[in-house]
């Protein structure tokens, strides 16, 4: 066999055997990692719920609902790898994760916008938080088309905060800089995995603690990667009077929806669960 024949044989072998085997191995390795992680988190939630029940710590509506939520999310996590897609990456030397829901009617060659939705503070501390945000917001749903995902073709991304929270409040487990770095790393990871992302149409949305972090994003250099921001009942812990907001660009499209009778995140500001909160009208100005 001459050199040319050898090169042709190796090229054919690589295309027909080596590459498919590598892709298959990568797929099963990723599936195994996701299954192990989801099972681990499900067991953790089940243990926490059962421990709460055995200690009799359910004698209030709020605690009973929290225990039931843990049980429901644990069951969902056991089947989640088969109905939803979760990705892992390393950011600031910590393993972080996000759930992603591709367009329902995917078309090759078409560029799609991305909506990144940040969950509220749950303190569950597992990969269930982003999955729960998808079920709660219903922008998209696993296996089921929603009116929004059906009519508005886009990627929906649900990242997981460390310890069930985003940076800003005193109960957060990571710094603002670490969470901002995670968002930047996550966007880069999404672009590396999906080549049909529209760079000019990446949006951030969030509720409660996640909505407050959307405000933090808007006031940072990382915010330059987003086309617009929206938040609901947001706790802007990093936007108190002593903290300067320096958006990466102006004008900055921002929508904030807040109830005047909100007792958890008061419209008039004051002391929240994780520190001082600004009055919403002052924050807006």
CATH number of the domain residue 209 falls in: 3.40.50.1820
Do 108 and 79 sit in the same domain of this protein? no
Instruction: Identify the burial level of 65 via C-beta atoms within 10 angstroms of its C-beta, where 0-12 means exposed, 13-18 middle and 19 or more buried.
Output: exposed
Q: Which residue has the higher pLDDT, 122 or 41?
A: 122
Q: How far apart are the first and last CA of the chain?
A: 77
> pLDDT value at position 250?
85
Q: Regarding beta strands 112-118 and 197-207, do their DSSP bridges make them parallel or antiparallel, or are they unpaired?
A: parallel
> pLDDT value at position 266?
93
Do 97 and 231 sit in the same domain of this protein? yes
Q: Of 14-28, 75-89, 93-107, 192-206, which gets the smallest average pLDDT?
A: 14-28
Do 49 and 187 sit in the same domain of this protein? no
Residue 76, both tokens: 């969902």
Do 90 and 76 sit in the same domain of this protein? no
pLDDT digits (tens, 9 = 90+) for 228-250: 999 999 999 987 755 678 888 88
Do 100 and 170 sit in the same domain of this protein? yes
> pLDDT value at position 139?
86
Q: How far is CA 176 from the centre of its chain?
A: 16
Count of structural domains, the chain: 2
pTM: 0.75
Domain that holds residue 233: 84-284
């Amino acid at each position: 066999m001459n050199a040319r024949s050898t090169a042709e044989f190796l090229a054919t072998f690589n295309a027909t055997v080596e590459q498919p085997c590598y892709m298959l191995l990568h797929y099963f390795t990723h599936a195994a990692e996701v299954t192990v992680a989801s099972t681990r988190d499900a067991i953790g939630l089940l243990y926490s719920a059962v421990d709460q029940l055995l200690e009799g710590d359910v004698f209030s509506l709020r605690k009973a609902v929290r225990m039931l939520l843990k049980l429901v999310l644990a069951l969902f996590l056991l089947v989640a790898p088969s109905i939803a897609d979760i990705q892992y990456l390393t950011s600031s030397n910590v393993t972080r994760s996000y759930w992603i829901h591709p367009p329902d009617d995917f078309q090759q060659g078409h560029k799609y916008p991305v909506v990144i939705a940040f969950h509220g503070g749950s303190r569950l501390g597992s990969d269930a938080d982003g999955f729960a945000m998808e079920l709660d917001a219903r922008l998209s749903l696993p296996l089921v088309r929603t009116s929004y995902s059906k009519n508005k073709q886009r990627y929906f991304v649900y990242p997981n905060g460390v310890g069930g929270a985003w940076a800003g409040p005193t109960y957060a487990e990571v710094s603002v800089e670490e969470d901002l770095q995670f968002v930047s790393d996550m966007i880069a990871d999404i672009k590396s995995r999906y080549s049909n992302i529209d760079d000019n149409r990446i949006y951030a949305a969030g509720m409660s603690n996640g909505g407050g972090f959307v405000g933090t994003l808007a006031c940072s250099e990382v915010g330059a990667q987003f086309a617009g921001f929206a938040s609901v009942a947001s706790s802007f812990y990093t936007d108190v009077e002593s903290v300067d907001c320096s958006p990466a660009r102006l004008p900055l499209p921002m929508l904030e929806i807040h109830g005047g009778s909100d007792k958890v995140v008061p419209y008039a500001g004051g002391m929240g669960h994780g520190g001082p909160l600004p009055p919403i009208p002052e924050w807006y100005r």
